[in-house]
Amino acid sequence: MARGLKVMIDDNSFVFDEGISFFEISKNFKKNFKHDILGVKVDNDFADLSDTLKKSCNIKFYDRCTHYGNYIYLRSAKFILIFAVRNILGKDAKMIFEHSQDGGIYCSIDNKKIDESIIKKIEEEMKNIVKEDYNFMKLNVSRMDAIKYFKKHKRMDSVNVLKYISNTYITLYRINDLYDYFHGKMAYSTGQINKFKLVYLGDNGFVISIPEVSNPDRVKEYRHHKKVFDKYLDYTYWSRKIGISNASDLNKILSKGNIGELINLAEAYYDGQLSNIADTIYNDSRSIKIVLLAGPSSSGKTTTAKKLSIYLRSKGFATHSLSIDDYFVDREKTPKDENGEYDFESLKCVDTKLFNTHLTKLLNGEEVNIPTYNFVLGKREFHDDKKLKLGKKDIIVIEGLHALNDELTSSIDRRHKYKIFIAPLTQMNLDDHNFIHSTDIRKLRRIIRDNRTRGKTADVTLKMWGKITQGEINNIYPFQDNVDKVVNSSMVYEVSVLKTYAEPLLFNVDEDDFIYPEALRLINFLRNFLPMPSDLIPPDSVIREFIGGSCFKN
């Protein structure tokens, strides 16, 4: 007879038989959730719903209204899509998940001609798979057996990535007769993944979208961000030309000791973007007087602004950096959020009236006394040695959270402004079915920089991330389409460098900390890459902004 084990769920105590699946336990709590339960955390470790109870523990369930549940939903929808593509286009169809796009994923099919009618057939087949309610079967297999399976089915992308990890056993998932390798947990069955949408974009590419955490009841209409999308594609094509598509391609170069040339190529691509912008501004120098640059956290804004200033100076311009922070209102006038804390990310923190007055005067050739914000006193101060007057070949460079918001520079005619959106738009995948989130690259960059410059531990940075993301959603992403240029600050080699610096910091997160599963996820992600020393990275690289050794002083 099975023994009873004590389980704590939402501070309430229950007893369940040893060996019962978490899916069976979850049925008792379905009424507490608006949507299907997709995931479970046992003590402080995530498990599959198909796993069984083996000890007394604390349990927390997740549906798609949570970030963790939403990741499971997306991962499961991807597997359903892979199965549907195979059923419609055949077993040899090469399905690639390229990158995130407007809350969904941009996908391509490399070796089959598709159009909108084919995409509709695939979407209908996905719906049929959902109706069939197949279980996502979990199998722990030896890594060598998995390699043999993928070789047999000509999935060399997975074969190659598995070559570089040291695990003896790995987890595969199965729908019906199809096996695949994913980095994270799956839902219990396909019937739980009942809302999704495919949108054909042309050139054998399409987007799969699912409900967002903020609106889990429906799939939002896809909005195409052309400039960001085109930059992704440009970088993807360029990277494939130099032989970097997946993690194994980078590992292969590292294992042969040929990293120097790759670093040079990556830095040249990044510098080329800034050189082209400087050429554009030079050719329109009679109109453009202000460069405005913004992007999400850890995009490399500081280095980019300073390097762009150098390119502009090489064209004969004199550049002047203007800090939005110096125009903060006095502390007592700072708005507060719903928790009664100062909301330093609100545009209302900035004295936009004074900022616009100064910009207008500067563009009219008048001299302006630029303020300095005293963050200790929480007050703006003026000093006689901070006066500025622009010449005919002078350019103002402004980078910051609100730089792309026209309300910040409302008095300045649009023709005088050149707007830049910057982000590390990562093109590299782990393999064809597991793409790398640009957000993860930014997290790793931020963890390293916060520790180096502010002494913050990785857990502190990870706990801040939700608030950081919300600030970006409110203040940066709404303005990404109304820019003149998108700059990609991603480096094809950087994950291997970030691994060297971030991995020890992530291992320092306590196993009892609620953020530990996220730290562990990042550790497992980094295990797909060989480490790389930073010796050959030039001092003016955007990566130096995070790992240290930059020739640009903050």
How is residue 477 written in tokens? 């992403």
Residue 295 forms part of a structural domain: yes
Q: What is the mean pLDDT of each run of 10 residues along the chain (554 residues)?
A: 87 95 96 96 95 96 95 97 97 93 92 94 98 96 95 94 91 96 95 97 94 92 94 95 95 92 96 97 93 96 96 96 92 84 87 95 95 91 91 93 94 96 94 94 97 96 92 93 97 97 97 95 95 96 97 79
C-beta atoms surrounding 44 within 10 Å: 17
In a 13 Å sphere around the CA of 357, the CA atoms on its Cβ side amount to 10
* Whether 443 and 517 share a structural domain: yes
Same domain, 420 and 535: yes
How many domains, in total, are found in the chain?
Answer: 3
The answer on 194 and 174 residing in a single domain is yes
Q: How far apart are CA 82 and CA 433, in angstroms?
A: 9
Indicate whether 54 and 74 sit together in one domain. no
Q: What angle do CA 225, 447, 275 make, to 5 degrees?
A: 50
Residue 402 lies in a domain: yes
Q: Looking at residue 554, what is its pLDDT? A: 57
Amino acid letter for position 509: V
Does residue 483 fall inside a structural domain?
yes
Q: Are residues 218 and 238 in the same domain?
A: no
C-alpha–C-alpha distance, residues 281 and 91, integer Å: 50
Find the DSSP H helices in 284-365: 301-314, 352-363
Strand partners, 318: 394
Q: What is the CATH number of the domain that holds 191?
A: 3.30.980.10
Q: What are the structure tokens assigned to 186, written together?
A: 């799956």
**Rounded distance between C-alpha atoms, residue 465 and residue 116, angstroms:** 38
Query: Model-level pTM greater than 0.85?
Result: yes
Strand pairing report for 45-47 and 169-175: unpaired
Indicate whether 40 and 84 sit together in one domain. no
Sequence-distant (≥ 6) Cβ neighbours of residue 401 within 8 angstroms? 294, 324, 345, 471, 475, 476
pLDDT at position 335, please? 86
Position 351 in a domain: no
336 in a domain, yes or no?
no
Among 169, 201, 227, which residue terminates a domain?
227
Q: Are residues 277 and 409 in the same domain?
A: yes
Among 227, 259, 279, identify where a domain stops: 227
Residue 182 Rama label (left phi>0; alpha psi -120 to 50; beta): beta
Structure tokens at 128: 């049929």
Predicted local confidence at residue 191, as pLDDT? 97
Count of CB atoms within 10 A of residue 211's CB? 22
Give the CATH number of the domain where residue 55 resides: 3.10.20.30
Burial class (CB in 10 A: 0-12, 13-18, 19+), 227: middle
Per-residue pLDDT at 220: 87
Residues 6+ apart with CB under 8 A from 115: 200
Residues 497 and 434 in one domain: yes
- Report the number of secondary-structure helices (H) and strands (E) in the chain: 15, 21
Is residue 280 included in any domain, yes or no? yes
Residues 152 and 211 placed together within one structural domain of the fold: yes
Say yes or no: 22 and 88 in one domain.
Answer: no
Give the domain extent around 164: 68-227
CA dihedral 305, 308, 314, 320 (to 10 degrees): -30
Buried/exposed code over 337-363 (b: 16+ C-beta within 10 A; e: otherwise):
eeeeeeeebbbebbbbeebbebbeebb
Please indicate, yes or no, if residue 411 is contained in any of the structural domains.
yes
45-47 vs 57-62, strand pairing mode:
unpaired
Q: Is residue 378 part of a domain?
A: no
Q: Which residue has the tokens 């974009």?
A: 201
